[in-house]
Every structure is written in structure tokens, then in C-alpha cells.
Structure 1
Amino acid sequence: MRFNKNMKKTFVTLCCFLALSACSADKGETAKPDEPTPPVENKDVTLFVTTNNRSKDFEKESVAYGSGSNLSPSTISLDPTTRYQTIDGFGAAVTGSTSYNLMQMTPADRKKFLEETFSVEKGMGQSYIRISIGGSDFSLSEYTLWDTPGEGNFALQEEEKKYVIPILKEILAINPSVKIMGSPWSAPRWMKVNNLTDLQPYNSWTSGHLNPAYYQEYASYFVKWIEAFKNEGIEIYSITPQNEPLNRGNSMSMFMGWKEQQAFIRDALGPQLEAAGLSPKIYAFDHNYNYDNMADQNDYPLKIYDDPSAAAYITGAAYHNYGGNKDELLDIHNRRPDKELVFTETSIGTWNDGQNLTTRLMEDMEEVALGTVNNWARGVIVWNLMLDSEKGPNREGGCQTCYGAVDINKNDYKTITKNSHYYIIGHLSSVVKPGATRIGTKGYKAAGVIYAAFENTDGTYAVVLQNNTNEAKKITIDDGDNYFSYDVPSKSVVSYRWPNK
């Protein structure tokens, strides 16, 4: 048989292949039939990692995943057939103080920070903002938008026009899907009385009650505020009737017991919003888990819901964590599963070593971020997004020992310190998108390892996990079709997101 040139090349190649195979066999490198097929290398799992010593500072990484399943002892298996609450979003309060500080930055520095915070493509993708209706203890002054009686005297003030609205517009230009919640710290003083028995005028920003004679005017105040922001191109997604209604002591505050709030929503706020064609979500209460230890105010939102006419206007209840335990969220959900829950405020400050990430990252992740979401919260919002290095601007009689989610150096309005609240919100918002559904999990459980799993509307899965132990843990996540493993550092938070395919 004669060999042409191409046949010779094929013969030589075949001989080399057989020789190499023989050598491999001699060395024991032949694949065994019972060994699993190696996973297909796809860098499709995106991770964000933060350690409490900042050795990883919201570091973006990726890992390969393989097809099939892997049920090792340290495997967390997703169960998308078990479905819990839908997620609205995660973020921080853009107060007057925050807006003022942001406006002191150079436009370039401000844009960079806002993109890092709110951009879905370039940053954390934070998605929910809380603002005050009028002033708060973190405003440049005490004020409302209707401080003089008379229908024509309602107007946006300098704080809105010069600081808050411009910042909101910059944020919405970066992420148009950001939701905005509004909460008042006080009604206009001319609407307030000393108590509901004497009904004497109460010309103070601190404490007092809303005069029932002015329920309709105060409801009109909300309508006018929402419409004023709408005219600026800013949609209001949700409101609460009163920030911390059981707190009489803040620099701006107003007591509103559950009976008052029930009547105000039922008889004035709900009907007026409806008549104006406005439909923001209304969340009752907006205060502490323990109802400030006032026995007659226990289960505040549940008591409001007992009136079907009031409950028809109310989406759910909002909570803070300055007193009590997050288990209250689960209790309220179990008793009224038809009503939503959101977490709307928490602070860090000198009293809880607020700038020490070593302790705060773990505690705030467990109590605020995962703790509320795993107890049915649809949204998580922390207090001031940005304060300055002197904990301000703040108001006398308000919190003068608070830190922001980030703090900016007042000497240069450039140098930023990122605190625990910035990271815990970022770890949620970076992988869990508005509209996602929290889903079930099975498998690996260990003391100090806490997590939650979600399915996003685009078909991706997300898991947010903290390892509050003193050792790294190799944890595998299995969605039924794919699995992957990652060595989770000790004292860290890891957020994962990957395609469901």
C-alpha cells in the first residue's frame, strides 16, 4: 500500500497519540469510569465579599460552576418551590443633612459616589430611599412645608429645592428604578395640640398631638407634598403617617397613638389620596419592635387593621430596631399575613462603636439585613446615607452621636469612611433586585452561618451569606441544575448571583 503525503501525516499523528496514551496508562493517569465528570468551567457566578477586617472590601470575584448536583455535608440547596415575600428594595435615608453633605462634594466626586451606591451596572444598585416630609433631626432647620395657616401657604422650602430634590434627581438619573418613601417627623405646629382632652394649641416642634379638627388639612398636606414632588419628576412610592409615633422626645416629633393613626388614615389620609388619584403604599406605625414598652400600644398595627375601613387603605407596617427584638416581625406576619412588612430605620453611633467594622459588620448583618429579610421584611432602609466627620449636620435635641452609613471628612468633603450600614445594604442590593422573591433552602446549617436565598425576576438566583465564625468555611451552593463552591472567609459576608440554567 502506498502512502501519500496526507496519509503519512495521519499515520504519524496516530502513532504519537497511541504512544502518549500508553505512557499515561503506565503512570496510572487513565480516567476511572466511576469518577464524576469535571464541572464545565463557566465564570458565571458573581460574588461580592467583605471581611470585618477589610482584607476584602466589597471585593468582586467570580467562581466556576458545574452542571448536576453536589450534596456534600456543607451544601446549601435552593428550594424555589417554597416562596416567601417579594422584595421592594434596600437603601438608606437621604435626609437634609445627607443631601447637604453630598452637595459640598465636587460634582465629579459626588457622581462617583452616587454611581458606586446606586448604579445597577457600576455599583451596589441600592434601590430604596427614605426622605422626610419637611424637617427631621437631620435637617438644616426645623420646618414643615405649611408653617403658616392658609390653603395657599404650602410650598417646598430651601432644603428641598437646594439640596434634597437636586440629589434625588441625580440619583434617579443613575438608577431610575429607585423607590422613595416619605415620612413626617411632625405636623405643622398650628395643627398640633397639647393633648386630646384639653385640645390647647401646642406651638412646639417636640411632642404634642395632631388636632382631630385638622385631620383633613393634614391629609391635604400629604397630597400636596406628593404632587409637589411629582411636579419635579419624582414619584413617591410609599409613605408612613408619622415617624416614630410613640417618641415624644425628638427635636421634631409628634405623638400619634394607634387610635389616632387609625382614625386619621380611615377618615382623612386614605380617602384624600384616593380622591386625588394617588396610590402610594401606606405603612402604619414606623417605630420600635417593643412599642416603647407602652402596654396600650402593643401590637399597634394589628389594632389598626382591626378596623376594616382603615385596613383597606393600609399596605402594611414599618418597624425600627431601637427597642425590642426582630422576632416581632415574624409574629406580626403570622397574625396578619395579608399585610406587608418593611424595616425603615436603624442607627449606628458612639454608643454601639458604630465605626468599628470588626464588630458591627457581623451584628448589623445578622440583626438588620438578614434578620429582617428572613422575618418577612420586603425592604430594608438604614438611617442617614452620609453624615460628616462631626456627625452632622444635626439638630439640638436630636441624635448628635450618630454616624452615617458613610461619613465624609468635613475638612475636604472628599475622604469617605464606609461603615457597616453601607456594606450590609450593598450586600443585599448588589444581588437581590426589586421584584425578587425570597425562596426556601435546605441542607447545611451551622452556628454563626446565616443566609437567605432569592430568585430574581430575570431568572437569576441570589444568596446572601454571612460567616460569623473564626474559621473559613468551604460552602457549596446547589440550585438543582448547577453547583459551585467557595471558601467563605471567617467573619465575612458574601453575596452570590448566577444564571438559572
Structure 2
Amino acid sequence: MNMINMKNIALRFLGCFALLAACSNSDDAEKPVVPVPTGDVTIYATTTSLTRDLTRDAVNFSSKDNLAPTTISLDPTVRYQTMDGFGAAITGSTCFNLFQMKPADRQAFLTETFSDKDGFGFSYIRISIGCSDFSLSEYTCCDTKGIENFALQSEEKEYILPILKDILKINPSIKIIAAPWTSPKWMKVNNLTDLAPLDSWTNGQLNPAYYQDYATYFVKWIQAFKAEGIDIYAVTPQNEPLNRANSASLYMSWEEQRDFVKTALGPKFKTAGLATKIYAFDHNYNYDNIASEQNYPGKIYEDEGASQYVVGAAYHNYGGNREELLNMHEAYPNKELLFTETSIGTWNSGRDLSTRLMEDMKEVALGTVNYWSKGVIVWNLMLDNDRGPNREGGCQTCYGAVDINNSDYKTIIRNSHYYIIAHLSTVVKPGAVRIGTGGYTDSGITCSAFENTDGTYAFVLLNNNEKAKKITISDGKRHFAYDVPGKSVTSYRWAKSK
């Protein structure tokens, strides 16, 4: 890629910052858009104080010899995982809030968020199969007994599908992963010993007698979305399979998931000719401290019949430590890892960027990527300022990646989860390969480097120190220096030298 093309990449982001005036954390939504600088390296910076608010900057390569002791060097000969993308969950609550916005405001926000040309290029979406705990009601797509009664429901047809179609118009290559929170109630039993029917959205287990019907349910749901022009890239058999208490939930031990995938879901996908990936687990690092469920996905991998259908495992961070990702990669290096859910809320200072931006960038964004995750997805993209809509039995204390004021459905506050995804997705594109880094280290510095498929390098750096640091970055042929603000996240992208 020549320098003219790289400057065109930089200039295309100008439109994004025109949108920020309408969707920023500032109350001054009418301030004029200030032209932003261009150079060899495009940079985005956010500080916890928001003195930089996804602010674009640029520097040129240095013509001097590099003698800086604070040099971080990229090593493209060391190659790790290929990235699938970064994004957020599009729940019923998110879609409800988006539909309360004026069409022009909604389009501006979705463009800012998902456009690779005029925005931050969010590239992964998570949705539920049937309801989630942030749906407008409790439902599945087959609430009348009999798989022949399968049909998409009003929440999907009136809210989810239209928003997904709007997003796909903006970013046609977006990936979508889906998971059920519960099976239809008529498929549930109280336990696998008594096999007594359980008429409850919460808890219960899948009756093995309905494994085939439930696998058909997945196939019909994927095909129904395909008929609407929406491809489902991946699924997990169950959201949080060890969580019995969610407002919509289903307990599924590793043995149950193994048997369901091996005897029903995998074969049904194969027969239907579906390329949709299957990820196991989709729950916490610590397996909810249930002794029999430790190494949940690994036990499934060790069954050849089930393993052939499972590409990897998905994780949440509501319990345990992300070290489990590294443990899983080392034990099963041929299986993929994906981080699919994390939340902020009143319990963890969710709107306090001085705490959350640093911690979420270190533990969720860079932390999971540096431990082999191919993607990072946060929970609700948008909730309102009352943390809703929400339902009894679901999370009453969660914030969204952004919160919209329900008095005008225009004023938007971006929280830490929006920033961490934006800082990754704006420079690291799907298909990028994480590469090695070396040189300068500091306990307050966390970073990751990537080689994009378009001939650019990407680099994302967290400076958790109070003071600014001049960091020099070298790609082996050229180098540049940048004064990284204290308590900040910075993202960089530049063209490789020919």
C-alpha cells in the first residue's frame, strides 16, 4: 500500500468525527467539527478524564536513528491467532431503544458504530435465539408443543431483524453469533432422573427425548434468518449453561452438551449443509466453581464424536480469571477461543471511566486477545438511563456499552465497553493476525500488535500510569514516537513499508 492510499484511509475517518458531535459525552452537541491532522500514522486516543474522547491524531515516521529506551518493537515473524472481530450484543432492549430514536439519529449512531469507512467498524454482533434476559418478554420460537410450530416471533420480526438489516447495510461483512437462553418449555424437565415436565422459563434441563427436535429448532432458526438475508456465523448450544437462576435459563452439564452436540446438533447442521460454527460452553472462566464441570469444553473436545463439530469455546468473565483462556489454548491449541460477554453496572462503578476504562481494557479487551481470543464481545450495545428496558429476574443494575437518555432518545453517553471495542475495531480488522512485540516493558503498559490483511499494521496500547510516556514504536523498518497520555488508551494504524 502506497502512502497516498494510507492517507485516504486516514481521511475516510473524518466523517466519523462529524457524527461524534451528535453522539458524544459532551453536552455541547453543536460545537463545530475541527479538522483533524493526518500523517503517516493514524492515532486514536481516549483518556479516563475524556480530555481525549476517541480523538484522532497523527504523526509521521522519524528520519532519525532510533535510540529511544522506551521502544516497543513489532515482530511480524511471531504470529498468533487470526482475529474474527469485536462488537456488542444486539438485544431486544437495545433494539427497543434504537427504535425510539429519530431515524436520522439512529442511522448516525449505527454508522458511527459499525461503519468501517465512516465509523469505528464494530465487526461482531451477539444475539439470542429466542429471548434473553434483556428481551421485552419471555418467549422462544416454538412455544406451542411440536417442532412443526416453529416460527419467528414479534420481537425478532419487529425489532431484531430490522436493526440487523440496517447494520448489514452499513457493514455487510459483520459476523453474528447466537445463543439460546432457554429451550421451549415443553422440552424441559426438572432433572434427568425424574424427567418430570418443568413449566418454567428459569432453570430446568433439556429432556434427552427432545434432542433431535431441539437441534431442528436451531436449524430452522438459522434458516429463517437466512431467508431474511442474515447469515449466522456461529452459535453456542446454551448461554451460561451452569446458571440456573437467570430469568430465562437452562442448565446443561458438559455431558449433556457433549451428547446434544454429538448426537443431534452437529449431525443436523451437517445434514442441512450449514457452515455455522459451534462453540462450546459460553460461560465463566471458573465454571461457577462446580467441581464436576471444570474443563467443561475440554471434556467435550476429548470425545471425538462431539469434538468434530465444535470449533472452540466461548467464555464470560463473571467468575474466575482470564488465565483459563491461556490454559485452554495450551491444552487444546487447535481449538478456538472467543470472549462473548461481560457487563458493567452499579456493582462495579460501571459509568466511572477512571476505573472501568483501565480495568476493562486490561482484563477484557487486550487481556483476552493476548490470551488467544479471536474476538471480544460486550453485553448490551444500548440501554437507557434507567438501565432498561429490563425484566424482573434479569439484570436490573446493568449499564449498556452506551446509555441513551429516555427523555429525548438522542443524548448518548459512551461507557467503557464502547471505548474498548472502538479502540480495537477501528484499527484491527477481521482477518488480522496478532503478531509479536518486544522491547520496552512497564507494569502500567499493556499492548498488542496486529498485521491487517490490507497491508497495514495495528497497535493498541493501554497506559495505566498517571503520567504521560513518550513511547516509540518500531515495525523493524521505520519508527515513530508519540506522547501517550496518562490513564489512556491509544490505537495506531499505518501502512507497512514495501
TM-score above 0.5, yes or no: yes
Please tell me whether the aligned partners of residues 69 and 482 of structure 1 are also in contact (alpha carbons under 8 angstroms).
no
Please tell me whether the aligned partners of residues 69 and 480 of structure 1 are also in contact (alpha carbons under 8 angstroms).
no
User: 1:479: which partner in 2?
Assistant: 475
Please give the TM-score of this superposition, normalised by the length of structure 2: 0.92
**Hey, which bits of structure 1, 4+ residues long, moved more than 3 A?**
66-69
User: 2:150: which partner in 1?
Assistant: 154
Shift of 1:68: 7.8
User: 1:130: which partner in 2?
Assistant: 126
Please tell me whether the aligned partners of residues 42 and 65 of structure 1 are also in contact (alpha carbons under 8 angstroms).
no
User: 1:6: which partner in 2?
Assistant: none
Is 1:451–2:460 an aligned residue pair?
no
Shift of 1:69: 6.0
CA distance in 2, matches of 1:416, 1:293: 38
Shift of 1:103: 0.8
Shift of 1:480: 1.0
Shift of 1:71: 4.4
Q: Structure 1 residues 206 and 486 mapped into 2: Cα distance closer, same or farther (>3 Å)? A: same
* Alignment map for 1:87-236 (pairs within 5 Å): 87-236=83-232
Please tell me whether the aligned partners of residues 38 and 57 of structure 2 are also in contact (alpha carbons under 8 angstroms).
no
Q: Secondary structure at the match of 1:219?
A: helix
User: 1:37: which partner in 2?
Assistant: none
Shift of 1:67: 5.8
Please tell me whether the aligned partners of residues 76 and 475 of structure 1 are also in contact (alpha carbons under 8 angstroms).
yes
User: 1:437: which partner in 2?
Assistant: 433
CA distance in 1, matches of 2:230, 2:65: 46
CA distance in 2, matches of 1:117, 1:69: 39
Please tell me whether the aligned partners of residues 47 and 53 of structure 2 are also in contact (alpha carbons under 8 angstroms).
yes
User: 1:491: which partner in 2?
Assistant: 487
Please tell me whether the aligned partners of residues 147 and 217 of structure 2 are also in contact (alpha carbons under 8 angstroms).
no
Please tell me whether the aligned partners of residues 472 and 490 of structure 1 are also in contact (alpha carbons under 8 angstroms).
yes
- 49, 64, 69: which one pairs with 1:73? 69
Q: Secondary structure at the match of 1:66?
A: coil
- 454, 458, 461: which one pairs with 2:457? 461
In structure 2, runs of 5+ residues without a counterpart are: 1-36
Q: Which residue type is aligned with residue 349 of structure 1?
A: G
CA distance in 1, matches of 2:90, 2:184: 21
CA distance in 1, matches of 2:311, 2:244: 25
Q: Structure 1 residues 71 and 277 mapped into 2: Cα distance closer, same or farther (>3 Å)? A: farther
Is 1:346–2:342 an aligned residue pair?
yes
Q: Secondary structure at the match of 2:282?
A: strand
User: 2:381: which partner in 1?
Assistant: 385
User: 2:360: which partner in 1?
Assistant: 364
Please tell me whether the aligned partners of residues 50 and 57 of structure 1 are also in contact (alpha carbons under 8 angstroms).
yes
Q: Structure 1 residues 42 and 155 mapped into 2: Cα distance closer, same or farther (>3 Å)? A: closer
User: 2:372: which partner in 1?
Assistant: 376
CA distance in 2, matches of 1:331, 1:78: 25
Please give the TM-score of this superposition, normalised by the length of structure 1: 0.91
User: 2:234: which partner in 1?
Assistant: 238
1:263-316 Cα deviation digits (max 9, x unpaired): 000000000000000011110000000000000000000001110110000010
Q: Which residue type is aligned with residue 106 of structure 2?
A: R
Is 1:414–2:407 an aligned residue pair?
no
User: 1:332: which partner in 2?
Assistant: 328
**Count of residue pairs brought into register by the alignment:** 461
Aligned-pair identity (%)? 68
Q: Which residue type is aligned with residue 210 of structure 2?
A: Y
Please tell me whether the aligned partners of residues 67 and 481 of structure 1 are also in contact (alpha carbons under 8 angstroms).
no
Q: Which residue type is aligned with residue 485 of structure 2?
A: P
1:313-357 Cα deviation digits (max 9, x unpaired): 001000000000000000000000000000000000000010111
Q: Which residue type is aligned with residue 461 of structure 1?
A: Y
Q: Which residue type is aligned with residue 148 of structure 1?
A: T
Q: Which residue type is aligned with residue 355 of structure 2?
A: T
User: 1:260: which partner in 2?
Assistant: 256
User: 1:402: which partner in 2?
Assistant: 398
Q: Which residue type is aligned with residue 416 of structure 1?
A: I
CA distance in 1, matches of 2:43, 2:301: 41
Q: Secondary structure at the match of 1:498?
A: strand
Is 1:296–2:292 an aligned residue pair?
yes
Q: Secondary structure at the match of 1:102?
A: helix
Q: Structure 1 residues 94 and 315 mapped into 2: Cα distance closer, same or farther (>3 Å)? A: same
CA distance in 2, matches of 1:343, 1:69: 40
Shift of 1:358: 1.0
Q: Secondary structure at the match of 2:393?
A: coil
User: 1:272: which partner in 2?
Assistant: 268
CA distance in 2, matches of 1:94, 1:151: 26
CA distance in 2, matches of 1:327, 1:241: 24
CA distance in 2, matches of 1:66, 1:456: 22
CA distance in 2, matches of 1:122, 1:61: 16
Please tell me whether the aligned partners of residues 432 and 450 of structure 2 are also in contact (alpha carbons under 8 angstroms).
yes
Is 1:84–2:80 an aligned residue pair?
yes
Q: Secondary structure at the match of 2:213?
A: helix
Q: Secondary structure at the match of 2:362?
A: helix
Return 70-79 or 452-461, whichever deviates more: 70-79
Shift of 1:56: 0.3
CA distance in 1, matches of 2:149, 2:420: 41
Q: Secondary structure at the match of 2:98?
A: helix
User: 2:13: which partner in 1?
Assistant: none
Shift of 1:149: 1.5
User: 1:282: which partner in 2?
Assistant: 278
CA distance in 1, matches of 2:474, 2:356: 30
Q: Secondary structure at the match of 1:302?
A: helix
Shift of 1:133: 0.3
CA distance in 2, matches of 1:304, 1:480: 42
Shift of 1:42: 8.3
Root-mean-square deviation (CA), in Å?
A: 1.1
Please tell me whether the aligned partners of residues 69 and 481 of structure 1 are also in contact (alpha carbons under 8 angstroms).
no
Q: Secondary structure at the match of 2:387?
A: coil
